[in-house]
Structure 1
Amino acid sequence: MAEVPVIQILEKEKFFTQHIVPLPHAVPYPPLTAPSSLRLRTKVMCLTTNNVSYARLGFLFGWWDVHPLPPSTPAQYNDPAKYGRTNCWGFAEVLESTVASVPKGAYLWGYLPLGTLAQDVTVEEGAIPGQIFVTNDYRKGVMAIYNRYFVHPASLKDEIEKKADGLAYDAIVRVMFETSYLLNRYVFASDPKETVYPGMDPKAQWSPAQADITGATVIFLAPGSKAALAFAYELRNARGGTQVKKIVGATSESSRNFVEGTESYDDVILTSESSASVLSKLQVGAKDKVVLVDFGGCAGVGAKWAAEFKRTHNNFLMIGVGSEISESSQEDALKALTAKGSSAIGINANDMRIRAMEKVGEKKYFDNLAAAWDSFKKVGIKGLKITWGDNMEDVKKGWDKLCRGEATPEEGLVYRL
């Protein structure tokens, strides 16, 4: 008897509210006969703050459209204006294939739906062997980073069965590492010729003075986040001859022990402190450069500190990477983005990647990224505890935990479906 697929469906305006929905009428699947097509099923996936961001800002960036509600969705949930599916990073198993280079039994790493329902996609080969792009019409308006998939051999099944830590890192941290890699290697590039602007505006300029963080004090908000820890690693290990002065984690009291235990920061301070006491404690002079990087700290802290730093330091820069988990309306989400944009330069991984590839070439970019990722995985994140779940009920519990704010920074939530 065929497995009854199960998917997660969210309420778009109340995306903390989820429904785990079986789809008995979706099976059996018909034969896959269309050319250049793959039938994929999510096999390994993660839950992080990214998942919530995809739901919160899905209306703005088209993320609700990446994996639409399937035709077999029950009537009570089959209103795309009200309901939708959010996305995750991980591995999908190739159940069927009409693509010679991607055989049945292979795996793809990339942007996946939450659930066990198979999906059929049309693909084309990328310029780099082992990479493919999804080309379905409904995904043509989606940023390229979400349509690019990386092919892995069928032998990956052994690692999946073992629930290998390296596989969990690929699901949980890999895309966040790339964001931090781009920040270090290209936004704050040691080689000025490779510098790129971090945001979405194609006309915006990124000056050499902004890009130069030599001797800067770099302060992280939400320093326990995976992206923050990856950026701290990059700053410490991949700066060439241009080193920052100090890497500082600004955290809440509840996360302090984990952040200190990672040994990723030169100093760990509390977000409850005033900006004046922070800079005094860190021995930051009035002419020294200060870079504040917000990976999703408590609401209001970044804006408050930025305003205070600006008054005392002319050489100040704020970068916005993430945001605090919150169930905000579309209107409130837009207001928050606008408010943050007034003090922080927001980044976009898709645009950074495209500009970086234009600088060094596509092959060199991915070769260098793969080498850097392998180096990071060998070291790992000290204190990170990987927790595996095994089914959509476990995913449901993980989503609720994330939305209630009960997931701690030292947890890595990954699932084998």
Structure 2
Amino acid sequence: MISRWTVVVARDDLTKTEVLHDELPALTDGEALLRVDRVGLTANNVTYGVIADVIGYWRFFPTTAEGRGVIPVWGFADVVESTVDGLPAGTRVYGYLPMASHLVVRPKLTSSGFVDVSEHRADLPAVYNSYLVTTSDPAYDPRLEDLQVLYRPLFLTSFLLADRLADNGFYGARTVVISSASSKTAFGTAQCLHNQGVRLVGLTSPRNVEFTKSLGLYDSVLPYDAAVDVEPAVYLDFSGSADLRATLHDRLGSELVKDISIGLTHQAASADPRSEFFFAPEQLRKRTADWGSDGLAQRFGEAWRGFTARAGDWVGVVGHSGPDELIEVWQAVLQGKTNPNTADVITF
């Protein structure tokens, strides 16, 4: 039997972690075993933990440890054992993975890879159940794996969020205000909105102002306590700060035409009725219906290539390995101790 390790967190306190060791079950017909190889870890993964009960993120990779859950990550894995024709051992895939050394999947093959049709994932958002085989992925570049595990899931959210704003005429706004402007999903959104006819204002902590300015994506970058010009604006909340939201509503009043929550770096889900939560799979379903899968892939691919052409100059990759260093990075991300100009990749 093959042994595996899994990092679990307390559902009611994400700082409490534990490494569990057990044996993988023998595969049954129609299953494959993935060995997780390389993943990225960002504030986006914190969001998965904060709203896990709302969206169902704990259900993707269930654990028998009482009161514990497994945080999802994005990355690459290799098929090491398979009972599925057309998915041999040695196949490399990209997709949604657990903080664990291995994952058993039940693949249904597609033109680009497979969908995990395991029973416990059947009613969960399809975007998280799809895995791309690298040899069938036109966006895959083996030299850019680190950028892909760090940015591709975030940039898909950025791409879809920016598309939703444009699709709705920016709700009549002339300005888009973005909090946590130094965060990867935020500046990915700014990249997608750049040169679209709206003014981009980035809000960030004083220590991150210079880095955020250096990206060259925002028309102005302000510390959180600075005044924002009163004009029709959309607020994209990547921070989850109730105090910042209240301040902006007080300053802008009726000129704040839309308030959208995306990230939760302050680790508190908003209960404020003035804000709506952006759920990327909804816009993904809409655009798949509008453009077709190929049309969506083409548009995303163009945006992704434009982003990666610049992203390597913005952020330096810091490598880590194994469950202990994974936990160290997790704790640093939770506590907001990571630097905006570095990004963490963990190899298993």
Higher share in strand: 2
The answer to whether the 8 A contact 1:20-1:396 is kept is no
CA deviations 1:144-187 (Å, max 9, x no partner) are 111111111399xxx87xxx4x21111111111111111223x1
CA deviations 1:318-356 (Å, max 9, x no partner) are 221112233xxxxxx5xx4321xx222321011110011
Q: Which residue of 2 aligns with 1:5?
A: 4
> Equivalent of 1:219, from 143, 167, 177?
177
Q: Which residue of 1 aligns with 2:279?
A: 348
Q: Which residue of 1 aligns with 2:46?
A: 52
Find the structure with the greater CA-based Rg: 1
Q: Which residue of 2 aligns with 1:278?
A: 228
Alignment of 1:355-394 (within 5 A): 355-380=286-311, 382-394=313-325
Alignment of 1:6-405 (within 5 A): 6-23=5-22, 26=23, 30=26, 32-35=27-30, 37-69=31-63, 78-80=64-66, 82-116=67-101, 118-126=102-110, 129-153=111-135, 164=143, 166-185=144-163, 187-189=164-166, 195=167, 208=168, 210-213=170-173, 216-236=174-194, 239=196, 243-244=197-198, 246-273=199-226, 277-279=227-229, 288-296=231-239, 298-311=241-254, 313=255, 316-326=257-267, 336-339=269-272, 342-380=273-311, 382-405=313-336
Give the residue type in structure 2 aligned to 1:295. Answer: F
Distance 1:212 1:132 in 2: 41
Moved more, 257-266 or 377-386: 377-386
The answer to whether the 8 A contact 1:306-1:343 is kept is no
Task: Give 1:391 deviation, angstroms.
Answer: 1.4
The answer to whether the 8 A contact 1:292-1:306 is kept is no
1:415 partnered with 2:346: yes
The DSSP-based 3-state class of the residue aligned with 2:262 is strand
Provide TM-score, normalisation by structure 2: 0.91
CA deviations 1:207-256 (Å, max 9, x no partner) are x555455xx1221110001111111111115x4xxx21x21111111211
Distance 2:3 2:281 in 1: 35
The answer to whether the 8 A contact 2:29-2:84 is kept is no
From the superposition, tell whether residues 361 and 153 of structure 1 become closer, same or farther in structure 2 (CA, over 3 Å): closer
Distance 1:59 1:297 in 2: 17
Give the residue type in structure 1 aligned to 2:217. Answer: S
Give the residue type in structure 2 aligned to 1:307. Answer: D
Distance 1:55 1:366 in 2: 28
Q: Size of the alignment, in residue pairs?
A: 345
The answer to whether the 8 A contact 2:172-2:232 is kept is no
Task: Give 1:83 deviation, angstroms.
Answer: 1.3
The DSSP-based 3-state class of the residue aligned with 1:373 is helix
Task: Give 1:359 deviation, angstroms.
Answer: 0.9
The DSSP-based 3-state class of the residue aligned with 2:259 is strand
Distance 1:9 1:378 in 2: 35
**Runs (5+) with no aligned partner, structure 2:** none
From the superposition, tell whether residues 318 and 137 of structure 1 become closer, same or farther in structure 2 (CA, over 3 Å): same
Task: Give 1:381 deviation, angstroms.
Answer: 5.6
Query: RMSD between aligned alpha carbons?
Result: 2.3
The answer to whether the 8 A contact 1:229-1:381 is kept is no
Q: Which residue of 2 aligns with 1:199?
A: none
From the superposition, tell whether residues 178 and 154 of structure 1 become closer, same or farther in structure 2 (CA, over 3 Å): closer
Distance 2:77 2:271 in 1: 36
The answer to whether the 8 A contact 1:39-1:94 is kept is yes
Provide TM-score, normalisation by structure 1: 0.77
Q: Which residue of 2 aligns with 1:72?
A: none
Give the residue type in structure 1 aligned to 2:270. Answer: L
Q: Which residue of 2 aligns with 1:75?
A: none
The sequence identity of aligned pairs, in percent, is 23
